[in-house]
Amino acid sequence: MATDAALIEENSLTEDRVVNAVPFFYGWVMLGVAMVAQFATSPGQTYGVSVFTKHIASSLQIDMTAVAAAYMWGTIFASLPLSLIGAYADKVGIRRMMAIVVGLFALSCCGMSMIQGPISLFFGFLSIRLFGQGAISLLAGTSTDMWFRDRLGMAVGIRNLSIPFSLGIFPMLAIALIQQFEWRTAYVILGIGVCVLMYPILIFVFRNRPEDIGQQPDGEAKPIASVETPEQKHEQGMDLPQLTFGEAIQTRAYWIMISLVIFWGMIATALMFVMIPYLGSRGISESEVKFFVFIPLAISMAVFQLGGGYLADRISLKWLLAFGTLGMAASVWLYASIDSVWGAALYGAVFGASQGIAAAGGGPLWGKYFGRAHLGKIKGSSVTAMVAGSALGPYLLTKGADLYGSYEPVLFVFVAIYILQAIACLFATPPNLRRDDIVPASD
């Protein structure tokens, strides 16, 4: 039976013409796929939504606080199912789950064109945040963790280059569509674009795991033993630790990372959500925001993510997390001080650099610390935390402006939060590898 099963698997692998046509490790192809998928989430990301907010408020005849409230509640509810989506992807495969959520995300973008008031706006935000910013981002990130192990830091650094690319390109694309067609039609075009971009890749290119095509993580040349059960196949090629979700939540590193992604999502989303009207109040036009904020932000994020990815395989991840978080504190301080286009450009450069460094440390941490066997559920919980945090940020900042007459009081609280979080990151050390002792170890 074992011999027959191995023979059937070998025959299925040799018939994969797409994989056989690639003369190098297929993980590098999947890295490109993850980058494209991350770009496809842009209509549901805050940097994408922020381009639409003033048009939505004007069309529905509501103020920005009402838009922020709908965004907050929609994002909170969107965060709740993400752990389940991750767990289900562990069972059925990332490819199948991705195909489902891409279709739902495209429908959600089209649904944004039909909102008529605060209630439908809430449901619109809920759907694009759940399926775009939440589910597709989760699945794209988890896919990279499946294909790389020793070179995971560099792989995540390369994959995350899609974020500054998206920041640099998508807002300008969305603004052009809004100016040409108006905002409702722009969302329909973006929804169709998501399908056109993603489904050919999912049908012809996407593969779940290297073991499924006869390869190993990082492209290592290791023999594949014959298997008899799905459980045995699932564990192939997986070195310890392979922590379950229950074991992961007993570690110190897990909770430090959860607090980091909550505050990261909360504060970064708040800054991006109000950026265009906020900088407009400082005398900076929408077109100037595109060139003096998004482009420096994208370039600095790309450079520091790539450099940070190189370092992530060579130094303790806690240092990247701490320095990146401290840099984010500095960027918030600069944000509160913007009074010219050059101040805006400096903010964009520092914000992008610090995001890139922190992402280089945080991205590979989940796979390196907790393993691949239950990564969908573990990482899903972190995306839930990030999405929930991102729900609170815009509302807190706009409500603070209503109460105090400016954004600065809340911004300085954000600075203090980031400084405390940077200190906490120094204690984000790897858990012990023994399953009978999950107490965190020092590194």
Whether residue 258 lies inside any domain: the answer is yes
Mean of pLDDT values over 243-247:
83
Q: What is the pLDDT of residue 432?
A: 65
Q: Indicate the pLDDT class of residue 233, thresholds 50, 70 and 90.
A: very low
Half-sphere exposure of 406 (CA within 13 A, CB side): 10
Q: What phi and psi, each to the nearest 5 degrees, are found at residue 41?
A: -75, -10
Nearest CA-CA partner of 206 in 376, 39, 375, 30: 30
Whether residue 223 lies inside any domain: the answer is no
Q: What is the pLDDT of residue 436?
A: 41
Mean of pLDDT values over 422-427:
94
Q: Which helix (H) or strand (E) holds 111?
A: helix 94-112
Nearest CA-CA partner of 77 in 390, 371, 422: 390
Nearest CA-CA partner of 215 in 16, 56, 349, 76: 16
Question: Each residue of 54-77: b (16+ CB within 10 Å) or e?
Answer: bebbeebebebebbbbbbbbbbbb
Q: Using CA atoms in the order 423, 424, 426, 430, what is the torsion angle rounded to 10 degrees?
A: 180
Whether residue 164 lies inside any domain: the answer is yes
Mean of pLDDT values over 214-240:
54
Max mean pLDDT range (201-205, 230-234, 296-300): 201-205
Residue 31 CA to residue 36 CA, distance in Å, equals 9
Range of the domain at 101: 24-208+238-425
Question: C-alpha 55: how far from its chain's center?
Answer: 26
Q: How many CB atoms are located within 10 Å of the residue 110 CB? A: 17
Residue 79 CA to residue 262 CA, distance in Å, equals 11
Yes or no: say if 112 and 122 are a contact pair by the CB < 8 Å rule.
Answer: no
Q: What is the pLDDT of residue 200?
A: 96
pLDDT tens-digit map of 378-391: 877 887 788 778 77
Number of separate domains in the chain: 1
Considering Cα of 86, then 90, then 91, then 97, what sign does the dihedral take?
positive
Whether residue 329 lies inside any domain: the answer is yes
Yes or no: say if 34 and 141 are a contact pair by the CB < 8 Å rule.
Answer: yes
In this predicted structure, the answer to whether residue 159 has a pLDDT above a threshold of 50 is yes
Whether residue 297 lies inside any domain: the answer is yes
Whether residue 381 lies inside any domain: the answer is yes
pLDDT tens-digit map of 270-297: 888 888 778 888 888 777 777 788 888 8
Whether residue 438 lies inside any domain: the answer is no
Residue 402 CA to residue 120 CA, distance in Å, equals 24
Yes or no: say if 247 and 435 are a contact pair by the CB < 8 Å rule.
Answer: yes
Mean pLDDT of the chain: 83
pLDDT tens-digit map of 392-413: 888 888 888 888 888 889 999 9
Whether residue 213 lies inside any domain: the answer is no
Residue 380 CA to residue 383 CA, distance in Å, equals 5
Residue 363 sits in a domain whose CATH number is 1.20.1250.20
